[in-house]
A and B are shown apart, each in its own frame.
Chain A
Amino acid sequence: MSEGSSDDCNAQDTWVSFKDRPEWSDVKPIPQDDGPNPVVQIAYSDQFKEVFDYFRAMVAADEKSERSLNLTKEAAELNPANYSVWNYRRNILSELNKDLKGELRYISQVIEEHPKNYQVWHHRRVIVEWLEDPSQELEFTEKILQDDAKNYHAWQHRQWCIQQFSLWDKELAYVEKLLKEDFRNNSAWNQRHFIINNTTGFTPEVVAKEMKFTQDYIRKAPNNESAWNYLKGVLSEKKLCEFPSLMEFCLELYSKHIRSPFLMACMIDNYEEMLEQGKPKKEENLQNATQLCNELAEECDTLRREYWQYMSRSLASKYGTDVSGDS
């Protein structure tokens, strides 16, 4: 929820005070009004104080000019999280009909310096919207994701561009490249789901293909939570019993003494569905499911013991013939 961390405020070395800038001599700076008994007072540098005093003067006069545009740059550099500055900058850009390609170059630099800031990404999005030109966006987000494959803002911007400008064609290939580099990249798995969901949809053919694709990755690393979750996503809103190969796959891994909590959770889901649907061998299914829960609670996933014990109790009370109960 926070508006950013407190580690990236760098000042310029060659800064010139406004008192020594004749082009600003006509402007009366407006100091911040914290009231007579201020709280949470920040020890602003002289530069910070002065730049924002002049910024307030510009906003108050609603001045949209070259100098106020340049001032927003100075202000944004001192505090890139100041959304008022970015908003005012956009007002000036549109009023003065500025060259937006230049603005895109500028915001690229700022984003590379502050890749985890809401305001700078939003600014980029508005500029791209105004330009109606997404031609640099896939490449740019790819560059940011190279440094941090999980950068949420970059993914958000990328998804927006893809959806807005129908750039679906090459995205699946990009995701496959990312997964080859790191098959635990959860953002890439999510992107895969996003693309398929918005293009072909999860038709029976696609589901079969995706199951195979995911199971191959799971075989490589049975503890890869991202792949298991994706598999669950592929099969969501579907009846697991229509995919008997899933349980066969699970049992195969289980028989190889693999005790990944995700594998076991998937098996429990399977047994639970069989119970729900009143399939034969009720007692056996229930026993298998509760046994898995207990194994998870006591050995394989002890940190979530409470949850697995709850699952076990809840299955037993729902489907057990013997209503002994412990309450």
Chain B
Amino acid sequence: MNGCEAWTLTKEIQRKIEAAEMWFFRRMLRVPWTARKTNEEVLKETETIRSLMNRVQRRQANVPLLDRELHTEFLLRGLKHLSGSYQCLDSSRPWLCYWILHSLELLDSPITEDHALNIAHFLGKCQDPEGGFAGGPMQYPHLAPTYAAVNALCILANITEKVFDILNREKLYSFLMRMRTPDGAFKMHDGGEVDIRGVYCALSVARLTNIMTKDLVSGTVDFIVRCQTYEGGFAGYPGLEAHGGYTFCGIAGLVLLGHTERCDLRSLLVRILLCPLFRKYSKNDDQNLSATRWMFNQEALQEYILICCQHDYGGLLDKPLKPRDYYHTCYCLSGLSVAQHFIGGHLQNDIVIGSTTNKLRALQPVYNLSLDSVMMAQKHFGNMKLP
């Protein structure tokens, strides 16, 4: 592969590359040359597609290219089954559904209605009879997989709204109420730890399914505000160090509660990342409303993801030399989407680095769902009565 940027791709070379690739696959599967197996059969067995040419072409392109086809194939495979190395995520299976489905929605790769219903049915198996979703069938309900399952259902609802039938909204509410702590925070599960992740998960789920009552969130704003540190970001729990992921939970939580004014926005450098917040902050600041881009370097982030974080065989990763996985595929694509689409002020503005085919669907960062998926939830639950 090294140096392939300089090759002249004649028909003959293309044919040779593809033949060599098939030869590799046959060797990997130990298919004897006497066996009369077609290339298609071999590819089916390896559960892969020809990708070597793709990679050569990607290296030859003079602009960064998002390998949509390979990523989609990696995602669809994981939606069916995962290797034994995922055993340690056996308590995060609704997360796996969400990470994959959200990646697919950003890539605009639809799945069939049957498939959607199967996923919803599986999520139903993870739902606890007393409300909330567990990390897998027959485990205890937990706020993190509850968040993942509800988000996954919102994505699936774009295919068929029937998926919402599996959700027990009344019991979900009693589960959230049971997780509440006296100071307005939430524990992750019965007997579990308390931190700002629980708060964010509970608020996101409650907003999407329209069950955010006053009782559910009394004291919650205060708890979140107590998590903001002198550095401007948010900690997992009051007193701890500011942290990127928890800062997202904190500020998104305040957006969901409609109280961003309660924290110190001036010291929160990343504040402009979230659009409703953006509008609020810039109320007295007409200059800002004419902004056409986010306040971070949108080009640099896209370049980093496209050039450094794509795996040669599909999927994305944390940083070069790290393995690919569904978690990083989801959040790399989410970051790429945010960096491509400015949805802040009056104007919507796209900045797409590299090939125009790199453009992903826009997302709503507070839930990390596509705008359509958030609308599906609002349409379905918006008119239902509060518990």
Contacts and interface: CB of A to CB of B under 8 A. Distances in A.
B97 A39 contact: yes
Given A190-B241, A193-B230, A314-B287, A307 B269 contact: yes
A73 interface: no
A40 B96 contact: yes
Given A33-B137, A35-B125, A79 B81 contact: no
B230 A40 contact: no
Given A40-B81, A310-B288, A3 B121 contact: no
B90 A42 contact: yes
B121 A78 contact: no
B139 interface: yes
Interface string B85-105: 111111111011100100000
B125 A83 contact: no
A258 interface: no
Nearest to A327: B290
A32 B231 CA distance: 46
A165 to B, nearest CB: 15
B3 interface: no
Contact of A32 (B138, B236, B242): B138
Contact of A3 (B118, B144, B288): B144
What size tier do the contact residues of chain B reach? Answer: 35 or more
Contacts of A184: none
Contact of B230 (A82, A159, A230): A230
A34 B122 contact: yes
What size tier do the contact residues of chain A reach? Answer: 35 or more
A243 interface: no
A89 to B, nearest CB: 11
B241 A233 contact: no
B188 interface: yes
B81 A34 contact: no
Given A232-B230, A304-B296, A83 B119 contact: no
A305 B79 CA distance: 41
A229 B231 contact: yes
7 contacts: A2-B95, A35-B125, A36-B121, A42-B87, A82-B139, A156-B240, A194-B240
Closest 4 interchain pairs by CB? A233-B230, A37-B118, A190-B241, A40-B96
Interface of B: 78-93, 95-97, 100, 118-119, 121-122, 124-125, 134-140, 142, 144, 188-193, 197, 229-231, 236-237, 239-243, 245, 249, 267, 269, 285-288, 290-291, 293-297, 300, 323, 325, 327
Interface of A: 1-9, 30, 32-45, 48, 52, 56, 59, 78-84, 87, 90, 118, 121-122, 125-126, 152, 155-156, 159, 163, 186-187, 190, 193-194, 197-198, 229-230, 232-233, 236, 303-307, 310, 313-314, 317, 325, 327
